[in-house]
Amino acid sequence: MELQTTSILAVILFTAIALMTDLKNRRIPNWLTVAAAITGLSWHAYENGLAGVAASLGGFATGFGVLLVLWLIGGGGGGDVKLMGAVGAWLGAMPTLVVFIASSGFVILCAIAMIAWRRFRKPALASVAASVDASATSDDRGNPESVLRLTVPYALPVAMSVWTLLAFHVI
């Protein structure tokens, strides 16, 4: 499946919206991922007939399948699975694998950046954190919201990899 301008613009727009919602809400909404997957499938059906449908479904299955395995072992959220499925519906199977591999690298870079940022800011926030920790109960320390602040929203590395790979015409 050859990527045309419409496909490229659509996946850029889709990943940008997914990124904004994931950064803001730490969720990627179903209306976005399902609409993007159906639109990608429909576009490729219109452009290339049954061959387009097959390529789009193959891309969806690749993206959805790889992230489903990670989700099943606790390595991501359901929105991440649907995000990669929708990216696959637009890009096809092989480009989706390239996006997944590149996004894995970007996850590592983002995690390193987050750790470095926390270490850099730590001296300035030490007194504030000490007072918060002193007043926190043991239930607060295991709060899922505090854990979420330590993770990389997956739409960020996906968007970074899609945009980078498109810029360099790798996919």
The pLDDT tens digits for 10-51 are 999 999 999 999 999 999 999 999 999 999 999 999 999 999
CB 20 within 8 A of CB 104: no
Q: How far is CA 80 from the centre of its chain?
A: 5
Residue 88 confidence (pLDDT): 97
The secondary structure of 33-86 as a DSSP string is HHHHHHHHHHHHHHHHHHHHHHHHHHHHHHHHHHHHHHHHTTSS-HHHHHHHHH
Distance CA 68, CA 62 (A): 10
Question: Burial letters for 83-106: b for 16+ Cβ neighbours within 10 Å, e otherwise?
Answer: bbbbbbbbbbbebbbbbbebbeeb
Rounded percentage of the chain residues whose pLDDT exceeds 90 = 64
Residue 75 confidence (pLDDT): 82
Distance CA 171, CA 152 (A): 24
Angle formed at CA 137 by CA 135 and CA 138, multiple of 5 degrees: 140
Residue 94 confidence (pLDDT): 95
Distance CA 167, CA 144 (A): 36
Beta strands in 29-156 (DSSP E): none
Residue 117 confidence (pLDDT): 85
